Amino acid sequence: MNVKIIAIIVAAIVCGGAAVAYFATKDNGGAESHDYGPTEIIDGSGTKITLSEPLTGVITVNTNVPKAMKVLGLTDELKGLCFYSSSSALDDENYATYKVLFPNSIHMPEARTLTAEAVIDISGCKYIIAPVSSMTLSPTQEAQCKQLGITVIRLDCFGDTALEDLEKLTILFGGERNPKMMAAYNSYLNMYNNVVNTVKAAVAADGKVDATFLYFTGTAAGGGTFYNQTAGGSLMIEQIYGKNALRNMGLSSANLVGPTNPSGADGIREVVMKEDQDNGISKVFIRGSSSTSAGAGSAMARGALGIWENSNLPGYNLTAVSENEVYVFNTNIMSGMLSFAAWVAVAEMCGVDTGLHIADLITAYNETYGFSEPTAGFVFQMVGGDTGAISFKEITV
């Protein structure tokens, strides 16, 4: 493994207490009395969650919160595992994978069939942590849980709020009252910050490029969406390379109510094409999905190509296409607990040598937390855009 990666991981573990975090847990009695008062957070749905005591056991829905809880060392506190699975076979496969990480957890019914009665009868838990809007419990299920005194807490631990959600988990499970968890939290933050700061230093030494980019996501209905300047991922890219081209396009506040703008929305195509014609858009970053790594070799390239072909981008005639400056990223390194790897990926795709390698980073991450995340199949670059015979090749970073 890369010596520099080992140094980063060791520094994170040894110096974990150096990280700084801000907590919303109230301290009504002061440090001497240790009367911390109620625990409060605002969850991902905007709901205030108030607890008289820290959580000691929860059921989780889907896979991201369990990963975050493993990072925090909260293995015993995860009482039940529930997955949003497309088949019973996949549900069993997910449980087999996560049972290794959480040996005392119970296999709950699949998310879409989970009932409040099952939560109480099988696990006895009164708290469920579920994603905010995708692959989660329905409003009807949440209402049924409320009727039986079960609290549903909405946290993704993924996307642009991953670190914020991780901090909220520490609050829910006791914050400073749980020093072992806080040591694990600070170790993770140190690892994350060491990688990010290494990338920032390399960017500063290399000289930041004065250029523009588009940051596009997947194959959503309508041909995908552009991340605008309010998106966390876009802000990350801007610290490495140029600025989001949508900043130049005169979008009003009404166009920025969320972090994305549909590529098929009125006027978006026209302003993007005009910006490219007038000033040039140097690179296009596409946040893909698991399909970018569905197999090996040519199968992975077909996955990336499919994301391109199913988007609206082929009709935009962008300069970046003819110059082969289009990159597809696997979404797993663009957010969540692995998001530090995205900093390295973006920097390397922009010609900045960070001295870090994603495979080494993920190997160290897996060894530290017991995960089995793949170490390849993350970044693909367009080829053949200058000839019209477009395909994608995997880039090792």
Phi, psi of 175 (to 5 degrees): 55, -130
Assigned domain for 371 exists? no
78-82 vs 58-61, strand pairing mode: parallel
33 located within any domain: yes
Whether 119 and 242 share a structural domain: no
**What span, in angstroms and rounded, lies between the C-alpha atoms of 10 and 167?**
22
Q: Which range of residues forms the domain containing residue 161?
A: 26-173
Cβ neighbours of residue 27 closer than 8 Å, sequence gap 6 or more: 35, 36, 37
User: What DSSP line would sit under 42-73, residue for residue?
Assistant: E-TTS-EEEESS----EEEESSHHHHHHHHTT
Residue 369 lies inside a defined structural domain of this protein: no
DSSP state of 9: H
Picking from 123, 152, 173, the residue at the C-terminal end of a domain is: 173
Provide the number of structural domains found in the chain: 2
The values of phi and psi at residue 329, to 5°, are -110, 140
Residue 339 in domain? no
CA distance 68 to 339: 12
Domain end among 173, 198, 219: 173
CB atoms within 10 A of CB 87: 9
Q: Per the domain annotation, does 188 fall within a domain?
A: no
Does 58 lie in the same domain as 106? yes
Same-domain pairing of 242 and 386: yes
Q: What is the pLDDT of residue 276?
A: 94
User: Vertex 87, ends 83 and 91: CA angle to 5°?
Assistant: 35
Give the pLDDT score at 128.
98
Residue 224 to residue 216: CA distance in whole angstroms = 7
Task: Say if 12 falls within a structural domain.
Answer: no
CA distances from 37 to 21, 31, 108, 172, 178 (A): 19, 12, 33, 13, 15
Q: What is the pLDDT of residue 36?
A: 66
Based on the domain organization, do 164 and 264 belong to the same domain?
no
Which of 121, 147, 173 is the C-terminal boundary of a domain?
Answer: 173
Are 147 and 115 a contacting pair, CB within 8 Å? no
Residue 335: both structure tokens together:
């957010």
Tell whether 86 and 225 lie within a shared domain. no
The pLDDT assigned to 158 comes to 86
User: Per the domain annotation, does 276 fall within a domain?
Assistant: yes
Are 162 and 271 in the same domain?
Answer: no
- Please tell me whether residues 163 and 230 are part of one structural domain: no
147 and 224 share a domain? Answer: no
Residue for token digits 């390399």?
202
115 and 264 fall within a common domain: no
Query: pTM of the predicted model, to two decimals?
Result: 0.84
Extract the residue ranges of the chain whose pLDDT is less than 50.
3, 6, 9-33, 294-296
pLDDT at 159 (0 to 100):
77
CATH number at residue 32: 3.40.50.1980
Assess whether 154 and 236 both reside in one domain: no
| Judgement on whether residues 267 and 155 belong to the same structural domain of the protein | no
Each residue's pLDDT tens digit, 152-207: 999 999 877 899 999 999 999 999 999 999 999 999 999 999 999 999 999 999 98
* Residues in contact with 67: Cβ distance below 8 Å, sequence separation at least 6, in sequence order: 157, 336, 337, 369, 371
Chain CA centroid to CA 153, Å:
18
Among 394, 232, 224, 208, smallest CA distance to 309 is for 224
pLDDT, one tens digit per residue, over 197-247 is: 999 999 999 988 889 999 998 765 668 899 998 888 899 999 999 999 998
Q: Using an 8 Å Cβ cutoff, are 380 and 394 in contact? A: yes
Half-sphere exposure of 148 (CA within 13 A, CB side): 19
- Amino acid at the residue 353: D
Q: 240 and 386: one domain? A: yes
- Give the C-alpha separation, 155 to 357, whole Å: 30
